[in-house]
Chain A
Amino acid sequence: MDKFYHSVRLDPDLCKGCINCIKRCPTEAIRVRNGKAQINSKFCIDCGECIRVCPHHAKYAIYDRPDAIKQYEYTVALPAPSLYSQFNNLDDVNIVLNALLLMGFDDVFEVSAAAELVSEATRTYITTHRDQLPFISTACPSVVRLIRVRFPNLISHMLPLNPPVEVAAMLAVSQAMKKTGLPREKIGIFFISPCPSKVTYVKSPLGNEFSQVDRVLAIKDIYPQLLSRMKAVGKDYPEIGTSGKIGISWGRSGGESSGLLSENYLAADGIENVIRVLEDLEDQKFTNLEFIELNACNGGCVGGILTVENPYVAETKLKRLRRYMPVARTHMSQEAEELIPWTTGVQYEPVFRLGNTMMESFTRLNQVERLCKKLPGLDCGSCGAPTCKALAEDIVRGQAQETDCVYYLRENLHRLSEEVSTLADDLAAGDRGGQETLRILKEYIHRISDEMSLLDGQEDDGDKIASQSTDTSSSGTSGSEASGAEASGRTGAVRNTVHQQNTPIEEKEDS
């Protein structure tokens, strides 16, 4: 399994090489090289921020097409709680669930039902592990990935319980197998997701060896199909929903925490806010907190990039919908209790280390400090790195050069032209031997035109730098390598990471 599998990708044909994404990436994972963005697969946490900000729609998410449903004998839809928040005037979740059946699914298992189990398990876990407080929610895969690469001291605070979608999938599989007698591979478990981060989770879960979710569909793909079927459901329909307020609330920021029935929690949403909370948590700024809920998207899952509704409107709709619901309708069973805990741990991945050994990293860090003093500190992004500091880090890693900085180049040009003019003055005054001075003059002019071409033709030159960066990269898996694999066969790259009993997530471009 690929430790750094990604569902957020780049379409180089659409990329104009602007600096929007490099500036907004919370982990500084994107560089523009050779006129195109490249995503460093080790730094990227699949938060989807770049998909949101790219004006050219060059970033996309991969997920499955709805017609994948035809490839299984028996299918179960797992709707995310955020799905319910997408519709106007919806007053009963059962209408959505019945519409999913009309779409062709054989059964539905609400993720919100499993969420109530996870809430119950979390309450128990907190009371029995009070010496390890506070616990950080592990429901958002981007947050788990962020902690894994950037907050080694917080790994032990991560709640070691499966996210609701996984618990739902495991229970749905066992129910479907009992009900139909079919072997596992003939049953398709379809998660209807608000974000690509869940695709990443399914392909390469953390905390579990593999996921029981077979396919991930986008809410925005299912939405139009559901609308017509919801009308067809009519007024007389069976009640199949099994979740209450607690489960439904997981769709928005603060929902998971409210299911803990405690006031000692903090809920932060939006990736920048999440990072700030984690930084403060690392400094032990907070006291007396039991639980930290973190969601990479603004507003929580309702803000996922695969949803259709404005996240704040969606949140209001979710509140309205759950108004008359019972607190919780799904309760712990012995089967569920055994399925909820993580089966594997999460290891710190020190991807931001500058070198292979501490001495090498130390020397490089020292070089970065010196380079930062030399670079203009404007963070203009023209070099393709988000900040001067990031460029300095790239340079010491062997992935960029000082001449990538346009200001550095400009200064060089100024200096050279000054020297040329001095030489020319000398020549005019007849101080030096004519031929020799002419030769030097010519050489300087050559160098000036070389540097000029660096400024003009970053594209031609970028080729050299890009290929070089892959060769000299200390880790061996730089962003350029990842994008190389993608270019050579995207579908192939995806297929490799699929776990045994499943066929792959089909590629679908999205912007």
Chain B
Amino acid sequence: MDDAIHLTYPISPDDFTRAGEASSDVKRKLKQMGVNPEAIRKVAIAMYEGEINMVIHAKGGEIRVDITPEKIIMVLDDVGPGIPNVELAMQAGYSTAPDEVRSLGFGAGMGLPNMKKYTDSMDIETTIGVGTKITMVVNI
């Protein structure tokens, strides 16, 4: 994996206006690489959901993306409260987003389920009070 393309995007907390920048940049690169549109779509949706999650729930963090000719690996590493019940969080519609976030149209409880739905594999490592690391893979 030495020739993988390594990208790092810092995510600042509470900044909704910048959410989506990382996914836009990755999309642009995947299009330049000639990756099939379906894989691009999956990466775009999963990554945007992930970015928004980090903005809403965590105190920021960073997204690391590795692109190889076979797959795209996205690691979303945040400094946040952790997810107390991963099984519950994976249920569609379950949300712990505060009201002010919901009033912005976010927090529908579809974040994690969508990330799982649009990726080929998803792994969650979470520690209460420390943070969450989600690794998603989309095969090309």
Contact = CB atoms under 8 A, between A and B. Distances in A.
**A and B form one complex:** yes
A450 interface: no
A396 to B, nearest CB: 10
A279 interface: yes
Interface residues on B, range: 20 to 34
B33 A152 contact: no
Given A282-B41, A283-B44, A365 B20 contact: no
Interface in B39-88: 40-41, 44-45, 47-48, 67-69
A355 B34 contact: yes
B29 interface: yes
Contacts of A239: none
Contacts of A393: 32
10 contacts: A153-B41, A283-B44, A284-B48, A287-B108, A352-B32, A353-B34, A354-B33, A357-B34, A358-B69, A369-B5
A285 to B, nearest CB: 7
Given A353-B31, A355-B34, A361-B32, A285 B69 contact: no
**CB-based closest 6 A-B pairs:** A152-B37, A283-B48, A353-B34, A153-B41, A361-B33, A361-B34
Residue of B32, B37, B47 contacting most chain A CB atoms (<10 Å): B32
Nearest to A351: B31
A282 B42 CA distance: 10
Contacts of B47: 283
Nearest to A284: B45
B38 to A, nearest CB: 8
Contacts of B67: 362, 365
Interface of B is mostly: helix
Interface of A: 150, 152-153, 279-280, 282-285, 287, 348, 350, 352-355, 357-359, 361-366, 368-369, 393
B32 A354 contact: yes
A365 B45 contact: no
Contacts of B126: none
Nearest to B69: A362
B23 A283 contact: yes
Contacts of B33: 353-354, 358, 361-362, 365
Contacts of A355: 34
A358 B24 contact: no
Contacts of A358: 33-35, 69, 140
A361 B67 CA distance: 12
Interface of B: 3, 5, 7, 20, 23-24, 27-29, 31-35, 37-38, 40-41, 44-45, 47-48, 67-69, 108, 114, 140
A464 B22 CA distance: 38
B5 A279 contact: no
Contacts of A359: 69
Contacts of B3: 363, 366
A282 B27 CA distance: 10
Nearest to A354: B32
Contacts of A354: 32-34
A285 B48 contact: yes
Contact of A153 (B28, B34, B37, B48): B37
B69 A365 contact: no
A153 to B, nearest CB: 4
